[in-house]
Structure formats: C-alpha cells, structure tokens
C-alpha cells in the first residue's frame, strides 16, 4: 500500500506554517503519512496529487482579492478538511444569525449592509449611545479590520464612522456590537475540538484595548492553557450541536469536522455569549499544551486511514 499524502495548506505569509505548527509534519511522518506544505494559491502546485488537504494558515482567504477564488479552490479539491460547504458557510460571519436562531446566545448585533446605502449620519445612528463598541467586517480573518471605539468620545466615534464607511465602500457587510467588559475582566475561552472530541482549551487575553484601531493586519493573540470548567464544556457542546444541525440543513447529512474552535465569553449573568466559530484557518494553539499537537496529528491520521 502506498504512503498516504497529507498536504497542509497555508498562505504566502506563512509558507512554512505558523510557528505553533512547525512540528506537525514530523508528527504526521511518524504516523506513516507523507506530509507536504503548499501555499493554497500557488499556481505551480498540482492539487490533484495533494492527497488529503488540511486547511491551516490560510489567513489571507478573506482578503477582497482572494475570497472568491479561495472558495472556488476549496470546492475543486477532491478531499479537504474541513469540507468545502462548511468553509463557505463559516467564511461569512452572517453564520452567527442562524446559530442564534438555534438558541446559541449571541452579543446583540447591528448588521450594516452595503446595499442599505447609508450615509455617514445614518451609520452614526446605528452605533450605541454609551460605552465601548466594536466594528468589524463580516468577512475577515485574524482580526483584520476590527476596531474598538468609545461611543461618547467624538473622535473615536468619528473614527468608527470612517472605518465603517471604508468597509461599506468595498462591499463589505459590517457588524456593530457592544464591547463586553467581561472580556477585559476574564478574557475569552477557546475550546478546541478534533474529530468532534474536545482536545484542549485556552484563555485568551483581551486584544481590543480602548485605543485599538481597525487595521488590515493579523493580530497576535496571548493565550494561556487551562482546563475548561464543566459549565464551559456544556457551553461548547451546545454550540457544537447547533453547528452540526446547520451542516445537516445545508448538505442533507451530517459531517464530522477535523478541527473546530469555539470562542466563548461569560455574559456576566452566569451564561455565555458565542464570539466565533473557526472552521477554516483556526489557530489551534498546538503549543499551549504538550498533548495538543500529538492529538491533532492523531486526528489527521484517523481521517486519512478511515
């Protein structure tokens, strides 16, 4: 039997993978798999011979020049994890609206659409009157284009209007959400799943400090590994159940996910809000615990030899 091939798809910004995943090729090789690394939009790559393609540091997929071609590329692959139809759903943060309909708690969100044709004044009226708030494009990766603003500070509010208009002029839908003080107090919790099983969890330090401005750069995260509480585990399961219901709705059948990262934050009242589900270029924090990288390699091995 020939050695199975796994191609780890990345971007030109991370041609050798993210630092967190540098040990992954060796771990796959130890499991009888031939690992390859390829930039997803490199025209010299023969994807017909790529074996199983595992999406990793494809963090430029959401850029305007790449978005449509990236989705088409995933659909062209004979075998890709996560599946192309899941990628298409997760690539646009409007996915949150369906999860909210299924009972997953969300931060109240105002959606501003390019088709609305709003003026600066009309955008201004969509912002909260008090406190801090966040503006981010519905299609983004790595925190690109996300900013935190203060409603009662005239300059900050003006910046928020200008940044929102910048996105709208480029046909990007925009999300406006109140900034949660719980993020500053306790941070976010990321629950990482491999083949449907919870592998590990990390606590993420706040990224959006009060003077944080929207940029087109990927923002680095500071994380600390810890055991999830029973309550956090139950929150993650509620989100995971809703995700799989959506997958079945969209494709007519359920599909196991090779990797799945669920980001949640406490709501200050004993519950939680879902911040994000990451099924495309998810940072999996493989360096956060000694077992994480090995667990991911095991999950890929199981997928390849099924």
pLDDT above 80: residue 297: yes
d(CA 306, CA 303): 5
pLDDT band at 212 (very low <50, low <70, confident <90, very high): very low
Give the pLDDT score at 282: 93
Give the pLDDT score at 221: 66
Integer Rg of the chain from CA: 20
- List the single range of 66-70, 218-222, 252-256 with lowest mean pLDDT: 218-222
Average pLDDT over residues 110-114: 97
pLDDT tens-digit map of 75-103: 999 999 999 999 999 999 999 999 999 99
pLDDT tens-digit map of 114-150: 999 999 999 999 999 999 999 999 999 878 889 999 9
Q: What percentage of the chain has pLDDT greater than the value 90?
A: 83
What's the whole-model pTM score? 0.91
Q: Work out the mean pLDDT of the chain and round it to a whole number.
A: 92
């Amino acid at each position: 039997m020939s050695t199975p091939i796994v191609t780890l798809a990345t971007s030109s910004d991370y041609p050798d993978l993210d630092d967190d995943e540098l040990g992954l090729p060796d771990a796959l090789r130890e499991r009888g798999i031939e690992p390859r690394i390829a930039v997803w939009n490199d025209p010299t790559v023969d994807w017909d011979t790529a074996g199983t393609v595992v999406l990793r540091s494809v963090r430029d997929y959401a850029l305007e020049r790449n978005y449509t071609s990236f989705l088409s590329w995933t659909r062209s692959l004979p075998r890709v994890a996560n599946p192309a139809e899941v990628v298409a759903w997760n690539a646009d943060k409007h996915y949150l609206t369906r999860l909210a309909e299924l009972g997953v708690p969300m931060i109240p969100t105002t959606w501003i659409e390019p088709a609305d044709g709003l003026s600066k004044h009309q955008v201004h009226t969509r912002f909260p009157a008090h406190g801090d708030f966040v503006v981010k494009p519905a299609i983004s990766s790595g925190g690109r284009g996300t900013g935190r603003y203060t409603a009662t500070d005239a300059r900050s509010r003006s910046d928020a209007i200008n940044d929102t208009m910048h996105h709208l002029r480029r046909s990007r839908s925009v999300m406006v959400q109140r900034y949660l003080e719980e993020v500053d107090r306790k941070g976010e919790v990321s629950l990482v799943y491999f083949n449907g099983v919870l592998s590990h969890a990390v606590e993420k330090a706040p990224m959006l400090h009060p003077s944080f401005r929207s940029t087109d750069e990927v923002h680095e995260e500071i994380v600390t590994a810890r055991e999830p509480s029973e309550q956090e585990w139950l929150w993650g399961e509620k989100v995971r159940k809703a995700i799989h219901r959506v997958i079945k709705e969209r494709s007519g059948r359920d599909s196991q996910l090779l990797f799945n990262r669920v980001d949640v934050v406490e709501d200050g009242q004993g519950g939680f809000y879902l911040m994000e589900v990451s099924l495309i270029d998810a940072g999996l924090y493989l360096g956060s615990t000694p077992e994480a990288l090995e667990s991911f390699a095991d999950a890929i091995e199981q997928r390849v030899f099924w």
